[in-house]
């Protein structure tokens, strides 16, 4: 049937859109703090942490005119109080971006910042944006996980999920049940190694350049300056970890030592169309290859990275053997080991979390995805022989997310 009326010719005039390449320009983050009244950010607002991140990205890239930013996407798991009011828009205004730059909030629990990146990157690939700022924040001291939520009683009453699915530590114990070969001893060994690798990376100056100093205040102690992560426990040993209690189950396997803590912090990055980045003189630290999010049984949410990675690799036409660097979020040691065991990767493989992970530096929920990306980008710069890397994480309520990245400086000598 021929088109008629005001819309005549609209479809005939349209042309297919070419997908554009998306590049990760740079990522930064605040130092991560311990949640609670004694943490470094106890009297610092969550939105002010995001403001610091946005301002630092603009400071580092004066070649980017602020009015060229097309969107600000900021994730938060608990969107209330100082993490509410459409935080992407509010933080952009507070950071001094032009009022013409829009912004929004996004939530996918632990993968909030990861989803802020993939969602805006899809917009860039489609042609809706040229340059965006994406990131996340979580002030778990102000907003404990689950604050103010009212789960529908049918979730449990209709047996849609096991009741343990709503307690992340219990889901980690469930993963142990499913994979009995992953013992507490193995998890403690992995956790101690994460602490050691993180400490070595700090000493070598590999962790630090991406941190944004944050002014902090305390009614008791006055003003301070946060310049380094607060959660790490240098000198952690398997023996000290073995003495810790198992809070989620009597005689369990998950402890405060082989899991990430409760933390505060913010992350952010600049993404751009590759041609636009070249036009503006913005560096390209990574090129987006593909991504995937999947759902799994909520009571074993820690297994999510496995099918997410399989799906992302399949869609990209790659295999696990093509991946030269892995940044896996360490919500719990058991979920990292489940991933490694599935793909036949040794727990001590130097390609995996070579600068340590969340067990050491912390996991402020919605912010962590961009921390993984920032570390991967910096590792790419050191390793031109590596072509592909992934960032992957498990997600509460039974999901997993994986993003595949390509090293634009790959020299053709390796995978």
Residues marked active site are found at: 110, 363, 394
Angle at 149 between CA 148 and CA 155, to 5 degrees: 160
Distances in whole angstroms, Cα of residue 280 to Cα of each of 102, 249, 276, 404: 21, 54, 6, 25
- DSSP, collapsed to helix, strand or coil, labels residue 195 as helix
Contact indicator for 137, 85 with CB cutoff of 8 Å:
no
CA distance 92 to 190: 39
Query: Which residues are CB-contacts of 99 (< 8 A; sequence separation ≥ 6)?
Result: 93
Backbone region of residue 325 per phi and psi (left: phi > 0; alpha: psi in -120 to 50; beta: other values): beta
DSSP for 293-343, please give it: EEE--GGGGGGTHHHHHHHHHHHHT--GGGEEEEEE--SBHHHHHHHHHHH
Closest CA to 122 of 269, 284, 291: 291
Closest CA to 135 of 288, 263, 266, 293: 266
CA distance 133 to 135: 7
Q: Which residue has the tokens 């005039």?
A: 13
Closest CA to 357 of 227, 231, 171: 231
Contact indicator for 386, 407 with CB cutoff of 8 Å:
yes
Contact indicator for 397, 293 with CB cutoff of 8 Å:
no
CA atoms within 13 A on the CB side of 400: 28
381-395: burial string, b at 16+ Cβ within 10 Å, e else? eebeebbbbbbbbbb
Phi, psi of 354 (to 5 degrees): -65, -15
Contact indicator for 350, 382 with CB cutoff of 8 Å:
no
């Amino acid at each position: 049937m021929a088109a008629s009326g005001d819309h005549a010719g609209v479809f005939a005039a349209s042309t297919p859109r070419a997908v554009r390449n998306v590049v990760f320009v740079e990522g930064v983050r605040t130092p991560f703090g311990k949640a609670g009244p004694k943490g470094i950010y106890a009297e610092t607002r969550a939105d002010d942490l995001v403001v610091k991140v946005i301002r630092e990205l603009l400071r580092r890239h004066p070649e980017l005119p602020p009015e060229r930013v097309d969107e600000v996407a900021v994730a938060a798991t608990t969107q209330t109080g100082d993490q509410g009011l459409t935080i992407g828009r509010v933080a952009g205004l507070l950071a001094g971006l032009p009022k013409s730059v829009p912004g929004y909030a996004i939530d996918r629990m632990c993968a909030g910042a990861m989803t802020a990146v993939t969602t805006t990157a899809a917009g860039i690939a489609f042609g809706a944006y040229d340059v965006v700022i994406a990131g996340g924040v979580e002030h778990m001291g102000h907003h404990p996980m689950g604050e103010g939520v009212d789960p529908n009683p049918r979730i449990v009453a209709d047996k849609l999920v096991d009741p343990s699915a709503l307690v992340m530590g219990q889901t980690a114990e469930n993963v142990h049940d499913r994979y009995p070969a992953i013992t507490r001893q193995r998890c403690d060994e992995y956790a101690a190694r994460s602490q050691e690798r993180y400490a070595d990376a700090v000493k070598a100056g590999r962790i630090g350049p991406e941190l944004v100093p944050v002014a902090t205040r305390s009614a008791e102690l006055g003003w301070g300056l946060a310049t380094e992560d607060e959660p790490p426990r240098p000198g952690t040993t398997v023996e000290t970890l073995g003495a810790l209690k198992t809070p989620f189950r009597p005689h369990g396997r998950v402890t405060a030592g082989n899991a990430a803590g409760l933390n505060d912090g913010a992350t952010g990055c600049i993404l751009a169309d590759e041609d636009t980045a070249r036009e503006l003189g913005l560096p390209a630290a990574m090129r987006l290859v593909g991504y995937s999010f999947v759902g799994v049984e909520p009571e074993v949410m820690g297994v999510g990275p496995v099918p997410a990675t399989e799906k992302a690799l399949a869609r990209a036409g790659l295999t696990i053997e093509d991946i030269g660097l892995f940044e896996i979020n360490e919500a719990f040691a058991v979920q990292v080991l489940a991933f490694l065991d599935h793909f036949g990767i040794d727990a001590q493989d130097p390609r995996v979390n070579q600068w340590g992970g969340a067990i050491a530096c912390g996991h402020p929920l919605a912010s962590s995805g961009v921390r993984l990306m920032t570390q991967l980008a910096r590792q790419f710069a050191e390793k031109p022989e590596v072509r592909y890397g992934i960032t992957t994480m498990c997600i509460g309520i039974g999901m997993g997310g994986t993003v595949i990245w390509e090293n634009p400086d790959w020299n053709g000598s390796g995978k």
